[in-house]
Amino acid sequence: MLEIEGLEFRYGERGLPGMCFDLEVAAGEVLSLIGPSGSGKSTLLNLIAGFLEPAAGQIRLDGVAIETLPAAQRPVSIVFQQHNLFPHLDLYTNVALGIDPSLRLTPTQVSSITDALERLGLSGLQQRKPGALSGGQRQRVALARALVRRRKILLLDEAFAALGPAQRAEMIGLVKSLVRENDMMALLVSHQPRDALIASARTAFVCEGRIETLQPTAELLEASVLPAVREYLGSA
Amino acid sequence: MNPRLIPAALVLGLLAAIVVAPLAGLLNLGAMPGYESADLQFWQSAYLRRVLFFSLWQALLSTLCSVLPAILVARAFALQPSFPLRGFLLRLFALPLVVPAVVAVMGVVSVYGSDGWIPFGRSLYGLGGILLAHVFFNLPLAVRLLLPHWQAIPQRHWQLAEQLDMNTWQRWRFLEWPALREGLPGVLLLVFMLCLTSFAVVLTLGGGPRSTTLEVAIYQSLRFDFDPLRAVLLALLQLGLCILVASLSLRLQRLPEVEITVDAPTPTPGPRIRPFHLALILLAAVYVAMPLLSMLLDALAGPLSKVITRAALWQSIANTLFIGLSAALLSVSAGWFLLRYSASLALAGQPGRARLIDLAGSIVYVVPPLVIGTGMFVLLSPYVDVFSWVYPIVIAVNALMGLPFVIRILGPALRQNHARYHLLCQSLALSGWNRFRYLEWPLLRRPLGLAMALVAALAMGDLGVIALFGTPNTATLTLLIYQQLGAYLIPDATVTALLLLLLCLTVFWLLERGLGGRLDA
């Protein structure tokens, strides 16, 4: 269980209103975050990943506080919309970096990479460089790397935004089964309400630096009475 | 027919006249006065071997001493994206571009000469002094050329490196080196080429036949030994070397392996302030600032009134201004017409030919000014008194030397302007003078002003072809400084150098602001 409690973030400049988040994600859950751009979705992910420092508040995984750990020691993997892979390295190396950036791997670790690539339908492409792949394949490589890292929390920051609808649905299905198989949890930031519908039983609506509401996805998307949500969805 | 073709063709014709005709003059060896086939044994002489070896050796050492530290300094700047004075120091590193070579030489003499802060003794004149001056110019240049390669690393990669727990070595290996690798060969070759063709520095600090480069040997053959044939042979050798280096750098430009991206370039996230990085930056800044400061102090304590009461000084100031401003006007107009034509070619779906036009403007990288000067000397001297042709020749060659800068500064803005508004202009029938007045001048005056300012400052500070053709009456300030140095009037030369520097900076500032408009405009 991931618990986020009173997690505050302030920009360097004075006068800007700060952000404050409270959220709980259960093991095995894929939780979606939707909301207008600039509302704080990516900021929340960056706080969890440790790229940004909170002004106050706690992040706990299974009861253990992690908000003071450096980014590298957090139980977190993140997948961005782009630039997830190093373009001059082949797929195998890109995935292997997730285990150990010195690339000194045990035979077990090597076979875990092969397994992960196979699980994501990338076998046979190990020697390819990212430039020779499609957008969808590149995101699969990033997921393979998340898989071999064996970290509990998976953050997807508009990871599939550049893909077409069918591919997005396929990738989300893949994420759901990976999370279930490996007992992880995922936070999915998306601009497509349909993604949330496929991905998550529950969806959080982020607005002006806080979680405005957390509801069953279908309810939030179809029957929300909150004006901010209706305005965002264009259903006013 | 494209109406922009005519002015562009005229410019290309002029380029050909300035570059190709002298080369033809060089190649027509048989018509040289006093030509005998026995002279060709010169190719095997020990003199030539020594000059050739020293040219390459000093260029190689200068390149390594400039670029290797520049990698460290650029990295320090990149990894420390915010600290006090960062912007100021980066601007300081742009300064050597407009500092005339003779001024830098006076600064080097002032710091490292026998009365300087760090006396080098007699070994200053020779390889030591040449290296000190070349590093002064090329270290800051290399820093500024290399820094964008770090800035091209996506912010996402820095974040991944953080999440994947990469240490400094691994970040260098997986993020920084791959980004740097694309640009490093180009920077190395550019600096090598600049040092290979460096004239004023070697002429003034070389200190004798032991440390003479091809570029200076050409000058000595022509001006002192009255041996045009030897000058021509040396010039041909120099030309061959430059073509070799230039073709190498064209071949080495690898296509970068990059992911197609929609991101705007992002600043790299700042790790903690590292004293080591700041120390490196400070050291480089001190190295660049010291010669200028020391020269300033020396000049203020120097024979100021004696120097400024000489009529020769005012004559050379007038000559310098005339040559600088004429060269700037010629260079910017030529660049303008070339770029307008290449922009219309690019928009018409002929980017290859457009690039070729732009490359033609950078021909001076391959054909060094002294080679052109020698060719003109050989070509014209049978028919006219070349010394009375000094102004047109020096202005033309300086304009040619400024052209690559004009193309780099003005090109991107002009192409963008053309791509955005050309169709609109056509539909409004906005053309010619009206198009310039209402569209191009308001939108392009900033880069136009900068290009004009830079070429004027460079031409005013150039000691090159003027040394071949100048006489006491037609001397520029740079030539005057060289003559003062030759007469061991070092205090006078220092004062004159300060005046030259002030003149260059003033003209630069006036043109950049006057033409480019105020920053908030």
pLDDT in tens, A86-144: 888 899 999 999 998 888 999 999 999 999 999 899 988 999 999 899 999 999 999 99
Question: Same domain, yes or no, for A116 and A126?
Answer: yes
CA distance A87 to chain B (A): 6
> Number of structural domains, chain A?
2
**Which residues in chain B are closer than 8 Å to A76, comparing Cβ atoms?**
163
Query: Which residues in B32-120 belong to E strands, given as ranges?
Result: none
pLDDT band at B29 (very low <50, low <70, confident <90, very high): low
Contact A72 B262 (CB under 8 A): no
If residue B56 lies in a helix (H) or strand (E), which one and from where to where? helix B46-79
Q: Which of A150, A175, A203 is the last residue of a domain?
A: A150
Name which residue leads in pLDDT, B357 or B519: B357
Domain match, B110 and B126 both: yes
Nearest partner of B213 among B151, B278, B131, judged by Cα: B131
Nearest residue to B366 (alpha-carbon basis) of B15, B54, B100, B8: B15
Q: pLDDT below 50 — which residues of chain A?
A: none
Asked whether residue A204 is domain-assigned, the answer is yes
B265 has pLDDT over 50: no
Predicted local distance difference test score (pLDDT) of residue B381: 81
Give pLDDT tens digits for B271-317. 567 888 999 999 999 999 999 999 999 999 988 888 888 888 999 99
Per-residue pLDDT tens digits for B450-509? 999 999 999 999 998 899 888 888 889 999 999 998 888 889 999 999 999 999 999 999
Give the pTM.
0.83
B218-257 pLDDT per residue, tens: 998 888 887 888 888 888 899 899 989 988 887 776 544 4
Question: What integer pLDDT is reported at residue B116 of this predicted model?
Answer: 81
Say if A121 falls within a structural domain: yes
Residue A83 and residue A157 in contact, taking contact as beta carbons nearer than 8 Å:
no
Do B410 and B331 lie in a common domain?
A: yes
Search chain B and give the residue with CA nearest A76. Answer: B163
Indicate whether A108 and A121 sit together in one domain. Answer: yes
Residue range(s) defining the domain that contains residue A104: 84-150
Distance CA B383, CA B379 (A): 8
pLDDT per position as a tens digit, B180-191: 988 898 899 989
Chain B residue numbers with beta carbons less than 8 Å from the beta carbon of A72 are 162-165
User: Residue B96: which domain range?
Assistant: 45-254+269-298
In a domain, B218, yes or no: yes
Distance from the Cα of A97 to chain B's closest Cα (Å) equals 7
Nearest residue of B to residue A75, measured between CA atoms = B163
Query: A132-154, pLDDT tens digit by residue?
Result: 999 999 999 999 999 999 999 99
Query: What is the model's pLDDT at position B39?
Result: 62
What is the nearest CA distance from A46 to chain B, expressed in angstroms?
Answer: 9
Residues A231 and A123 in one domain: no
Q: With an 8 Å Cβ cutoff, are B261 and A83 in contact? A: yes
Residue B229, SS3 per DSSP: helix
Contact A139, A164 (CB under 8 A): no
| Res B365: pLDDT | 80
Q: Which of A110, A131, A150 is the last residue of a domain?
A: A150
Q: Band the pLDDT of B67: cuts 50, 70, 90.
A: very high
Q: Name the pLDDT band for B34 (thresholds 50, 70, 90).
A: low
In a domain? residue B37: no
Residue B194 within any structural domain of the chain: yes
Residue B262: what pLDDT? 42
Q: Are B127 and B152 part of one and the same domain?
A: yes
Residue B178 with chain A: CB contacts under 8 Å: 86-88
Q: Do residues A215 and A169 share a domain?
A: yes
Average pLDDT rounded to a whole number, residues B433-455: 89
Interval B368-396 mean pLDDT? 86
Tell me how far CA of residue B378 lies from CA of B39, B229, B371, B396, in angstroms.
17, 9, 11, 17
Q: How confident is the model at residue B360 (pLDDT cuts 50, 70, 90)?
A: confident
Asked if B14 and B86 sit in the same domain, the reply is no
The count of structural domains within chain B is 2
CATH code: domain of residue A219 = 3.40.50.300
Contact B162 A101 (CB under 8 A): no
Provide the mean pLDDT of chain B: 86
What is residue B261's predicted lDDT score, i.e. its pLDDT? 43
Residues B218 and B334 in one domain: no
